[in-house]
Structures are given as structure tokens and as C-alpha cells.
Amino acid sequence: MSERAIQLYKAIGEADPALLEAAEAYRPKKPRKWMKTVSLAASLALVIGLGAAAVRYARRDVSRPADTGADDIGAGTAQDHLPDSGLGAYDGPVLPLTVSDAANLTAARQVTLDFADFAADWPYAVSVTDRYTLTNAGDTPVTVTAYYPFIGALERPGLPEITVDGESADAVLHTGPYTGSFRETRDANLLDEPQSFAAYRDLLSDGTLFASALAETPELDTPALVYELRGVAYREPDRYAVLEAEFEYGPETSVFTCGFHGDSFSVEENGNGRTFGVWSSDGHSRYIVAVGGDIEDLAVHGYRDATLTEPYGAEVNQILRYESTVGEFLDRLAAEYAQDGPDAGADLYFGAPLSPDLGADDLSRELRRTFALYSRLGSDPSPRYRWEQLERLLRDTVTVRRLMVLEFPVTVPAGGSVTVESRMIKDASTRFSQEAGRAVSRIDIAGALGTVLPFTSATGELMNTDSVTLLDPDRPLDVPDMTLGPTEIGEVFTIGVKN
């Protein structure tokens, strides 16, 4: 185990004694089975754990025709009731349905936010039903490809459930690209995810990101030489060792690794060492991948610990060398991760398991895309991956928020209508407000952002709000018939919850 885990363990040990006392005295309220099946009645149970809570309704002063583009949504008028503490993460807005061609079609939208299970788990989450009545004013049937975009992550279970006139749609998932960028600090290069509705508006308004989500998987057929280090044999009784793989390579060669510990990773520029610590034998292979050339003089030595000072009787059982391509190797990593997940290789992967709704192909597609963009050999290399540890690329691929799209066909009869509905659980974006002394959450709903559908109306409804108090500093909020209106479809709902 690395020093950093122990460091965090000790930091947690510094927790305020008052918090410890409260934690020790705390008696959780056990869930009642009926909460899961009776959604309306469940709102009564929401009082538990919420205490005094508040929902603020924040109105954007947006006036524009219903069928114009998305650029006007909230532009320049974004209010922000939420003090930015630097803690928490923005989970992105609920995005609207769009179609391949809106000819002759209009849409009436109704969004329902159900707070029944808002506080049942953490982070707080709202059940969102996003319903569209598509009407065909023409005299011939219209068949279009519909796209329902949402902000998700490969680790996150539960895809939106799409129905067309009540029938489950046969939807194809496009996992789409990372929605953020990277931020360099003195010591680190951080993921820099969009932290506001405005940031998502900027990202999505020109359609580029959306098009990327539907793009083909990068081929990545560059030849690669793979060295697979299999198993560990001990000649001494204490079955723990740090193994160092030493090798040489020239400047024409790029070397990537997987399974070598970050904290003992000590390679210098064009250096020649990679190390990993191993308990007993964890059964996982370690990989060294050479691209553009080969490595030479590979040798593996055992040491007692990461200082690499005291030799120890441990060695790798078997080293295989085979020819592959970068893409094929990433497929292999994705397949291993999809099968074993990070739990099977806690010493290898520090990420989250792949969502049960996704498979190795989904992971592989995005791993290839991430590599093609951000690796040392990518089109836009990021310093975050400068150490060429593929598990970091893999972990980020699984955990970062990305634009995902469900694609399905819809036929609207001449002079008729169909109803398209998406149901999903949406995490609230939660920040800690120093000013308010409490955690404040928000759910944002984007109006026409990125859609070509002309809306004739857009209404909103809140359900099971018994446990939250609705506040509106500017005007009364008429619940449940809260009308967003066709000229206000860029509204943002801000939900404040006292911690």
C-alpha cells in the first residue's frame, strides 16, 4: 500500500472530535420498504435527514422566440445564488431532445422533477422525467433520428430510459467525449471540468461536441510491442516485494506502462526504470508497451520496499513479448477492466468500476478516444498523462463526466403526434456555502441548448416537495403548475438544502 493512502488515513485521523462524537452517537434511520414503491407517499420520509430545507427558484430573464437557436439561453444574465466554495462538483444540466431534421415537427416539452428520494442517498439526486410531444403538421409521415443527450460517466450506473408512445425505445448509446479540460498548477495537472451552466452552454452551443459524440472510434493501428510481466515468485517467506523493471530505450521510442505503481514510479527523462509493489501474488499482469521502437535489456529485480535499497528474493514468473497495435492493446486493457474492475486490482487501478449498463466495447471506444487526444502520442497531449501510465488514462476515462447520447428512431404520422419520454436519476450539483454555512444543491435544466426542435411550450412540474421548502425571492412559485413558458426555456432551478 502506498504512503499516500496512509497519509490520507492519518489526515482523516485529524478529524474534529466533535464530528467523531456525532458520528459515534449517530443512529441511522433504516429505510422502509414502501419508500421504494410508493413514490408519492415517499415524500413524507424525506423529512428524515434533511432538516429545514429550501428550494430557491431562480429565474433567468430570457426573452426570445421559442424556435431560435440556443445561444441566447441565459446569455449574460446568469445569476448565481450559490456561493462558490471550491468544494463539490457541477453535474451538468439536463439537456433537451434533438432530432436529425426538424422539418414539419414541433415539440411541447414537460419536465417533471420528483424529489421523493432526494435525500435517500448522497449525493442528492432528483428523478427527472423529460417528456416531449412531437407533432407533425405535414401531410406525410416524418421519420427522424432522435438524440437524447445527457451528461454522464462510464462509472455511473443507470442510463436514461427512453420510451416512444409508452414503448421502450431501441436506443443506441454514444458515450461521447470528456466535457472538460486540464488545469496546470505548480505541482500538478488537474482535471478541469465545467463548473457552471454557462460553461456547458459554451461547450454545446456550436454542435462540435455533439458531433464528436457520434464520431467513429479512432483506429489507432500504430504498431506496438507489448511486454507482459506475469505473476510473482518468492524465494523468501515474507510475500511482499517491490519489483523494478529496468530497461533502455532510445528517443524514437515512446514507452507506456500499466500496473506499475504511481508512487514508486521514478523514471527520469528517457530513463529506464519502472517499479511496482506486490502483495503475495495478485494475479494481475503488468505491461510495458513500446511504440515507435523497442526497449532493450529488460531485467526485473526484487526489493524489500520502495526505497529499492535491500534486494529481496522475488521475481516475475514469466515475461511475454508480442506484437500488437496501440488500439488492440487498449482493447485488452478495457476488457480486463470491464471483467475485473478496480476491486480485482486495487493495486493497479484506483478508479471506479464500469457501470453495469456498459461493456468492454464502450470502455474501449472511450479509452481509444482519450489516448488519441491526450496521451503523449495524441493530437492534444496533456501534461496530466506525461508519465505515460495507462492506468491513469484508464481511470480518468471511467470517471470523468462526458457528453453521452442515446440515438433512436421516431416516426411521427401525418397530422399526428407521438410522445417521447426520458426518465433518469440526476445527481444534484452540490457545493458548500461558507456564507450560508450549509451545503447548497442545484439542478439545472437547459431549454433549447443544442436542439433543432422548435418548442411550442415548455412546462415544469415539481413533485414530492413536502420535505423541502420552496422559496422565491422574486415572485411566488406556483407548484405544481410551474410554467417555464416558451420564452423562458433557459430556466435554471436552484435547490438549496440545509446540511
CA of residue 314 relative to chain centroid, distance: 39
- H, E, C per residue of 353-394: CCCCCCCHHHHHHHHHHHHHHHCCCCCCCCHHHCCCEHHHHH
Task: Report helix, strand or coil for 287.
Answer: strand
Q: Where do we find the cell 493512502?
A: 5
Among 71, 206, 263, 435, binds another protein (CB under 8 A): 263
Query: Contact between 26 and another protein (CB under 8 A)?
Result: yes
Show Cβ contacts of residue 373 under 8 Å, excluding neighbours closer than 6 positions. 177, 379, 380
Q: What is the DSSP letter of 217?
A: P
Tell whether residue 13 is a contact of another protein (CB under 8 A): yes
Binding to another protein by residue 234, rule CB under 8 A?
no
Give the integer Cα–Cα distance in Å for 213 and 480: 35
10 is a site residue for another protein (CB under 8 A): yes
Cα 138 to chain centroid, rounded: 40
Does 233 bind another protein (CB under 8 A)? Our answer is: no
Shortest separation between residue 422's beta carbon and another protein, angstroms = 23
Q: How far is the CB of 443 from another protein (least distance, A)?
A: 17
Residue 84 or 478 having the CB closest to another protein? 84
Judge whether 326 and 371 are in contact, CB under 8 Å.
yes
In one-letter notation, the amino acid at residue 149 is P
CB neighbours of 157 closer than 8 A, spacing ≥ 6? 355, 356, 357
Q: In this structure, what are the phi and psi dihedrals at residue 198, rounded to the nearest 5 degrees?
A: -60, -35
Name the residue nearer to another protein (CB basis): 1 or 320.
Answer: 1
Instruction: Please pick, from the candidates 65, 262, 283, 311, the single residue that binds another protein as defined by CB under 8 A.
Output: 262
8 lines the binding site for another protein (CB under 8 A): yes
Rounded to 10 deg, the angle between the 390-399 and 360-374 helix axes is: 120
Tell me if 280 contacts another protein by CB under 8 A. Answer: yes
At 45 the three-state DSSP class reads helix
Please say which residue, 15 or 40, places its beta carbon nearer to another protein: 15
Q: Give the range of 11-19, 99-107, 473-481, 487-495 binding another protein by CB under 8 A.
A: 11-19
- Out of 47, 78, 319, 346, name the contact with another protein by CB under 8 A: 346
**366 neighbors 154 (Cβ within 8 angstroms):** yes
Type and span of the H or E element at 427: strand 417-427
Residue 119 touches another protein, criterion: CB under 8 A: yes
Sole window of 23-31, 65-73, 306-314, 487-495 interacting with another protein (rule: CB under 8 A): 23-31
Which three three-digit cell numbers place residue 30?
Answer: 433504516
Smallest distance from another protein to CB 85, Å: 8
When the beta carbons of 235 and 475 are compared against another protein, the nearer one is 235
Within positions 348 to 377, which residues make up the interface with another protein, using CB under 8 A? 350-352
35 binds another protein (CB under 8 A): no
Q: Cis peptide before 65, with omega less than 30 degrees from 0?
A: no
Report d(CA 198, CA 168) in Å as an integer.
Answer: 33
251 binds another protein (CB under 8 A): no
Residue 480 CB, shortest distance to another protein, in Å, is 26
Which letter does DSSP use for residue 400 in this model?
A: S
Window 401-460: residues binding another protein (CB under 8 A) = 430-432, 439
Name which of 30 and 235 has its Cβ closer to another protein: 30
Rounded to the nearest 5°, which phi and psi values hold at 5?
-65, -40
Does the footprint of another protein cover residue 236 (CB under 8 A)? no
By CB under 8 A, is residue 19 in contact with another protein?
yes
Among 40, 87, 172, 320, binds another protein (CB under 8 A): 87
* DSSP structure class, residue 397: H
Binding-site string for another protein from residue 302 to residue 341, where x marks contact by CB under 8 A and - marks none: ----------------------------------------
Q: Which H helix or E strand runs over 266?
A: none
Residue 141 binding another protein, by CB under 8 A: no
Shortest spacing between CB 409 and another protein, in angstroms: 34
- The angle that helices 390-399 and 326-344 make with each other, rounded to 10 degrees, is 70
* Closest distance of CB 327 from another protein, Å: 26
The residue behind cell 523494478 is 244
471 binds another protein (CB under 8 A): no
- DSSP, collapsed to helix, strand or coil, labels residue 278 as strand
From first CA to last CA, the distance across the chain in angstroms is: 34
**Number of shown-chain residues binding another protein (CB under 8 A):** 70
Among 340, 347, 361, 466, binds another protein (CB under 8 A): 347
Q: Are 94 and 111 in contact (CB under 8 A)?
A: yes
Contact call for residue 133 and another protein (CB under 8 A)? no
Tell me phi and psi for residue 330, to 5 degrees.
Answer: -65, -35
Closest to another protein by CB, 239 vs 321, is 239
Q: Does 265 bind another protein (CB under 8 A)?
A: yes
DSSP 178: B
Q: Tell me: does residue 187 bind another protein (CB under 8 A).
A: yes
* Residue 138 found at the interface with another protein (CB under 8 A): no
Q: How far is the CB of 385 from another protein (least distance, A)?
A: 10
User: For binding to another protein (CB under 8 A), which residues are involved?
Assistant: 1-2, 4-17, 19-24, 26-31, 49-50, 85-89, 119, 121-123, 185, 187-191, 238-240, 261-263, 265, 279-280, 342, 346-347, 350-352, 384, 387, 392, 395, 399, 430-432, 439, 499
